[in-house]
Structure 1
Amino acid sequence: MSDTKYAQQGMTFRQSVEHMVDHAIEIMGLDEGIGNAMKVCQSVVQVSFPVEINGKAEIFTGWRATHSDHRLPSKGGIRFAPIVDQDEVEALAALMTYKCAIVDVPFGGSKGGLVIDPRQYERHQLEAITRRFARELILKGYLSPAQNVPAPDMGTGPREMGWMVDTYRQMFPNDINYMGALTGKPVEHGGVRGRNEATGRGVQYALRELFRHPEELERCGLSGSLAGKRVIVQGLGNVGYHAAHFLETEDDCLITAIIERDGAVVNADGLDVSAVREHIAETGGVKGFAGGEYREDGTAVLEMACDILIPAALEGVITADNAERIQASLIAEAANGPVTFAADKILQERGVEILPDAYCNAGGVVVSYFEWIRNLNHVRFGRLERRFHEARGEQIIAAIEDASGVEVPEHLRQKLARGADEFDLVRSGLDDSMRLALQSIIAVRRDNPKIHDYRMAAYAIAIEKVARHYRDIGF
């Protein structure tokens, strides 16, 4: 997968992440011992197991890496992809440690992967494979509410998380907190509304917050609001779709190009993101979509002029080979590691600003944290106070009408008297987390003369938090 592209640049994905961390550690003047301890992946387990498929035993191989358990549980997704390897899993686990610290979520970092193309298997076969993989991780201590909590990633979703949490329940029927063993579950089985869209929604909230800071927009060569900004999205999976859909429908952005496996579709006046998604579901690609011009060379479309480029699929899509030709003013890394270390340096020299993956796509783990808390508390958010706030709203409306002698219009009455439900509270918490994190990143970049980009500012925040734990508590 991405490691091939990274290898072409002379380093693996994990080494690219470590180079960025080394740079941040050097800038911060951190003690060498703490810095080295922070980079080490604490543990990795590889499992291989047979599952009977069409009367024959197939062997599947997967990994689960824990980069840091300085806070428990360790947290991170599980991806199903045909080109997963240990190096990638370790790199993603490290990113999870820094990601959680940046957005102030009290988790360590972990990640998992299984070498499989889920599209090649029927539903019952995939269920058997997923449950067996979960069993292997559980038996080795890499899946539990208190120690290691997986979530969806590439190739997995609520369905797979539901199978895995049910497997845990069967193995530990007396654990009343079993729902907290995984996040991203179906809403009917302990999940929260808003988790499926959370990473893409977080990208939107990150961009909204950036656009509240005119001085930061000036760095990017941008101004005004998100409305009318030209956006190119690479990858219309779960993350890319939700980011593009919300930016199009709620912020009036123009999604001028969408890049997929079979090429790209382009429309300078803006694409209908939902229509493109439906077309992909029906045909398997963007070719033939009537609402835009098809381009077979998707990599060339990545280099088209736009205001915001959102790589939302694979690692290593922007490398030293194409960084000089990227024409975006701002890159929002919705995927993990889409910009290599070498490309990052080139883009910085060219003045292209990047909202880094460790911050920009952290929405998923933020809402996973909310889901985990909800599972351990055994009560949905808003259940205790919703009606109280509705009654308080009615009292405020009555006071306004008594004082003014004017009846409050019905549409305002409904808004003022409405109590927040769980979905509202989840979105509110995600918005607040993304806002505060970017405000901290901007402040660190502004106040530290050695830091010249958002990525190093984000890493500095994360590394200082983890290092503080090591200094105060020990290794």
Structure 2
Amino acid sequence: MSDTKFAQQGMSFRESVEHMVDHAIDIMELEEGIGNALKVCQSVVQVSFPIDIEGKIEMFTGWRATHSDHRLPSKGGIRFAMMVDQDEVEALAALMTYKCAIVDVPFGGSKGGLVIDPRKYTAKQLEAITRRFARELINKGYLSPATNVPAPDMGTGPREMGWMVDTYRQMFPNDINYMGALTGKPVEHGGVRGRNEATGRGVQYALRELFRHPEEIKRCGLSGSLSGKRVVVQGLGNVGYHAAHFLQTEDGCLITAIIERDGALINEDGLDVQSVREYITETGGVKGYPHAEYREDGSKVLAFACDILIPAALEGVITTENAPRIQAPLIAEAANGPITFEADKILRERGVEILPDAYCNAGGVVVSYFEWIRNLNHVRFGRLDKRFHEARGQHIIQAIEESTGHKVPDHLADELARGADEFDLVRSGLDDTMRLALQEIIRTRNENPKVNDYRMAAYVIAIEKVARHYRDIGV
């Protein structure tokens, strides 16, 4: 979202992130020098290049910012969108630094973007644009498996990452680690199974862990498990779809409203997320979907009564204008910066609990880390030990049957004798990471009397980890 729109609502996205950091620094009483170092984006490059589109030369402009390289490589997505600008890219790069620290992923923070509406170009044209953007970043040292590793973001996906990694391979044919130059690639070309669903799956795991802490759920005025909880999802893109789909099919949540660009769907008995997704893919929107009430002004449905609100689209959708009307007692920020700084204050004063974006949507970078490790190791997860564990499971089954004289039921035998594949291991690693990170956030909130919400707890954790590194290396 551009600064122009933010100016109508208050401070910009970048200013919001900086104010959160300032508040955390004050709480921690961090020394001024390190505090200032944490707030500065270390480097940013702007590139502009021409591309021949059907005989007409078009100019494209993009950025790549590195907020911190205290850990290498620096990590962060590349978005293709018309609202991209340098301020947004720098803010998102800073957020990536904190996000990686919160979930203990050993990366610095980076982010990139290109001003483009990808829907206006053919696949062939988009490939030419993407490859040229990649070359510009590579030539300026902002794309490499050792120093700066992009991933998909808004407007990009595995296809674009595949084009970019192939461009890197062509420029550095002797780099055997070239696959690690980008993450979020197609599985057939060095990607890892589970990356596409990772951010949405991470939101699910975050909520699951929160609901394992009854005292924390009590803060929201909720109780029990996720089963039966009413959920409103704003944005049914990759992140929103996977979060909603898994919460519905695996945890028994009722997705009572889905908000999209052209309006919103409401069904108090629960929407079929898969069906809605297929309808959007077919028609381009939600209008006309037959199994729900349609509301043209989708923004008003953010204030729809529910237990959990999941904003999973753009920055700044909850502002001072609609924050007083939000009825959800719990918000899980699946998007980056969906709540403005001023709106966040209003919601906290009203007692609304918020799982912050810097934690809640970190699933993507967690699984990107797994993919990067896989690429550098040149072996898929599970290849070395899957059959070993299957054989051990068979021995356990045999021992049980011989000692009891009874046959182990087939459904239990199948599970005991199944070795974990790459998908299983990626999901297990993501689940463990999201659990441990939230446990640390909860502990920090409960033990530090100056910390009154999950967002500030997450920032305190992140800043302390980065500051500790700066102190250790003498910066």
For 1:188, the equivalent position in structure 2 comes to 188
For 1:448, the equivalent position in structure 2 comes to 448
CA contact (8 A) 2:2 2:84 kept: no
Q: Does 1:89 align with 2:71?
A: no
For 1:218, the equivalent position in structure 2 comes to 218
CA contact (8 A) 2:11 2:341 kept: no
Instruction: Give the deviation of 1:87 after TM superposition.
Output: 0.4
For 1:152, the equivalent position in structure 2 comes to 152
Q: Does 1:317 align with 2:333?
A: no
For 1:261, the aligned partner's letter is: R
CA contact (8 A) 1:2 1:316 kept: no
For 2:98, the equivalent position in structure 1 comes to 98
CA offsets, 1:299-346, max 9 Å, x none?
110111110000000000111111111000100000000011111111
What is the alpha-carbon root mean square deviation over aligned residues?
0.7
CA contact (8 A) 1:2 1:315 kept: no
For 2:4, the equivalent position in structure 1 comes to 4
CA contact (8 A) 2:2 2:85 kept: no
Instruction: Give the deviation of 1:32 after TM superposition.
Output: 1.1
Alignment of 1:297-336 (within 5 A): 297-336=297-336
3-state SS of paired residue (2:426) = helix
Q: TM-score, normalised by structure 2?
A: 0.99
For 2:261, the equivalent position in structure 1 comes to 261
Aligned residue pairs total 475
For 2:351, the aligned partner's letter is: G
Q: C-alpha distance in 2, partners of 1:354/1:49? A: 41
For 1:424, the equivalent position in structure 2 comes to 424
Alignment of 1:56-455 (within 5 A): 56-455=56-455
Q: C-alpha distance in 2, partners of 1:426/1:187? A: 13
Q: C-alpha distance in 2, partners of 1:469/1:195? A: 28
CA contact (8 A) 2:214 2:223 kept: yes
For 1:431, the aligned partner's letter is: D
Q: C-alpha distance in 2, partners of 1:15/1:49? A: 29
Distance 1:266 1:2, change over 3 A: farther
CA contact (8 A) 1:2 1:314 kept: no
CA contact (8 A) 2:80 2:118 kept: yes
Q: C-alpha distance in 1, partners of 2:9/2:264? A: 25
Q: C-alpha distance in 2, partners of 1:194/1:443? A: 29
CA offsets, 1:346-390, max 9 Å, x none?
101000000000000000000000000000000000100011101
Q: C-alpha distance in 1, partners of 2:241/2:336? A: 16
Q: C-alpha distance in 1, partners of 2:283/2:323? A: 32
For 1:22, the equivalent position in structure 2 comes to 22
CA offsets, 1:203-229, max 9 Å, x none?
000000000000000001110010110
CA offsets, 1:185-208, max 9 Å, x none?
000000011000000000000000
Q: C-alpha distance in 1, partners of 2:313/2:463? A: 26
Q: C-alpha distance in 2, partners of 1:237/1:334? A: 11
Q: C-alpha distance in 2, partners of 1:160/1:300? A: 34
Q: C-alpha distance in 1, partners of 2:362/2:5? A: 24
Q: C-alpha distance in 1, partners of 2:316/2:45? A: 25
Q: C-alpha distance in 2, partners of 1:246/1:130? A: 32
3-state SS of paired residue (2:242) = helix
CA contact (8 A) 2:10 2:342 kept: no
Q: C-alpha distance in 2, partners of 1:67/1:123? A: 32
CA offsets, 1:231-272, max 9 Å, x none?
000001000000001001111100011101111011111001
Q: C-alpha distance in 2, partners of 1:3/1:354? A: 24
Instruction: Give the deviation of 1:3 after TM superposition.
Output: 2.9
CA contact (8 A) 2:66 2:74 kept: yes
Q: C-alpha distance in 2, partners of 1:245/1:116? A: 29
For 1:32, the equivalent position in structure 2 comes to 32
Q: C-alpha distance in 2, partners of 1:321/1:434? A: 32
3-state SS of paired residue (1:328) = coil
Instruction: Give the deviation of 1:2 after TM superposition.
Output: 4.9
Distance 1:441 1:71, change over 3 A: same
Q: C-alpha distance in 2, partners of 1:375/1:228? A: 40
CA contact (8 A) 2:144 2:181 kept: yes
CA contact (8 A) 2:245 2:273 kept: yes
3-state SS of paired residue (1:154) = coil
For 1:460, the equivalent position in structure 2 comes to 460
CA contact (8 A) 2:195 2:368 kept: yes
CA contact (8 A) 2:138 2:168 kept: yes
For 2:143, the aligned partner's letter is: L
- Unpaired segments of 5 or more residues in structure 1? none
Q: C-alpha distance in 2, partners of 1:246/1:291? A: 20
CA offsets, 1:255-290, max 9 Å, x none?
011101111011111001111111111111100001
Q: TM-score, normalised by structure 1?
A: 0.99
CA offsets, 1:97-116, max 9 Å, x none?
00000000000000000000
For 1:44, the equivalent position in structure 2 comes to 44
For 2:193, the aligned partner's letter is: R
Of 99-108 and 8-17, more deviation after overlay is shown by: 8-17
For 1:473, the aligned partner's letter is: I
Q: C-alpha distance in 2, partners of 1:84/1:68? A: 20
CA contact (8 A) 1:397 1:408 kept: yes
For 1:38, the aligned partner's letter is: L
Instruction: Give the deviation of 1:10 after TM superposition.
Output: 3.1
CA offsets, 1:163-199, max 9 Å, x none?
0000000000000000000000000000011000000
* Overall identity of the aligned pairs, in %: 85
For 2:159, the aligned partner's letter is: R
Q: C-alpha distance in 2, partners of 1:56/1:435? A: 52
CA offsets, 1:389-412, max 9 Å, x none?
011111111111111111101111
3-state SS of paired residue (2:329) = strand
3-state SS of paired residue (2:124) = helix
- Unpaired segments of 5 or more residues in structure 2? none
For 2:209, the aligned partner's letter is: E
Q: C-alpha distance in 2, partners of 1:315/1:87? A: 13
3-state SS of paired residue (1:61) = strand
